[in-house]
Amino acid sequence: MSEPAADDLTVGDEIDVEVGPVAHGGHCVARHEGRVLFVRHTLPGERVRVRITEGGPGDRFLRADAVTVTEASEHRVDVRCPVAGPGGCGGCDFQHVATGHQRDLKARVVAEQLQRLAGLERRVVVEPLDDADGLRYRTRVEFAVADGKVGLRRHRSHDIVPLTGCPIAVPGIDEALTETLAETAQAKGALAGIAALDVVVPSAEEDTVVVEVPADAPTPPITVTERVATPAGERVMGVDARGFWQVHRDAPRAFVEAVLTAADVQEGERVLDLYCGVGLFSVPLAEAVGPDGQLVAVESDRRAVDHLRDNLGATPQALVVPGRVDDLFGIARKGPKGSKGGRNGRGRTRGRTARSDLLPPSADVVVIDPPRTGAGREIVTALTSLRPRRLVYVACDPAALARDTAYPADLGFEMTGLRAFDAFPMTHHVECVATFETKGAAPTP
């Protein structure tokens, strides 16, 4: 039976393709009669039979799963999870890839994004963290709940794949999930009104925490404590059980070391820490500036701000500034495309505000850890106007980092250092710590 023509391909069709390079997002690029397909569960250089999962005639590209491998890559391994693969759990992208080669693929993606979006040629090495060859590292997992099912969602779907454990989670999460499933099985309707179960294994506590997330009500605050190594010694920090904290058990240590090395803060300096959460970087940065310096920590989430203040404690050189970064710098918020209130319907959710007097007019070092979407041109411009000697950018998305890398280059800054970390093995995600300095400065590691 002949294969469908490229222009006629639609969901469910199967074709044979030769797989091209890895792309950002956990898939590889293939072409059928010139038409682009983004294919999951495969590797560059393989020949596979794919099944179309999204798209149809007239779409710019199609999404597909590799369902049969006819010529396998030398880097292909047996999946380490029973629900990974086509039609299974969407949490992991690279279960079929040798762990070391996963890092090679992620390095290619970071380098490609920097070249394509920032015009920057840079060799990238993704460093491993301390884990069991990419397994048993995750200290937080949110399990979806619906219709009596507990599990994780299929790729790009709300459908739940039931499961009793997760091989990338630390053992305590599997144990807690098994106990919870056994308890709820004995009580009919025990999960009624519950949208999710957040299971957390805090590093500074013996007990695992299971948070029942209501379907139609706010989750009450639950504080857990995490242990973090800093140059001044071990620190214990509080964070909401559903608040932001790095999920890899070794990530807090590695990222604190990377940020402090990149920032190279000197006593007496002024440091600005933006999107600082509960203070993973703020606490050691405040210690680094000393009593004659200043640490200004900015965070918008109310619960995180409360924990930030507690974690900083009686540190006179630390100033906590609650609020959104764009608001505090007097930058108008950007609304979603098509929203009302602005030119051509692209709009702003609110107008430009006055710059906050709580923000300093200058800073020696700026540390920024923005959301996955990145900081954006206006915020980067505001930061460079502070004329810091170093800007340290922590990024969980290489495309956002690449876009934001292009902006300081236009303002007299250049990337002088870049480290990448495999903080999310088995997935396509990668964490980067980039250093920017005024042009002509000596490179940093």
Residues involved in catalysis: 396
* CA proximity to 41, closest of 31, 33, 51: 51
What Cα–Cα distance (Å) separates residue 303 from each residue in 93, 176, 329?
A: 32, 25, 22
What is the enclosing helix (H) or strand (E) of 66?
strand 61-71
* CA proximity to 249, closest of 177, 141, 89, 142: 141
Based on the number of CB atoms within 10 Å of its own CB, is 257 exposed (0-12), middle (13-18) or buried (19 or more)? middle
Helices (H) and strands (E) in the chain, counts: 8, 20
Do 308 and 239 meet the contact criterion of CB atoms below 8 Å apart?
A: no
What does the block give as tokens for 34? 């010139």
Q: Look up residue 403 and give its amino acid.
A: R
Strands 294-299 and 270-274: parallel
Q: For CA atoms 80, 82, 85, 89, give the dihedral sign.
A: negative
- Taking each helix axis from N to C terminus, what angle separates 282-289 and 302-312, rounded to the nearest 10 degrees? 40
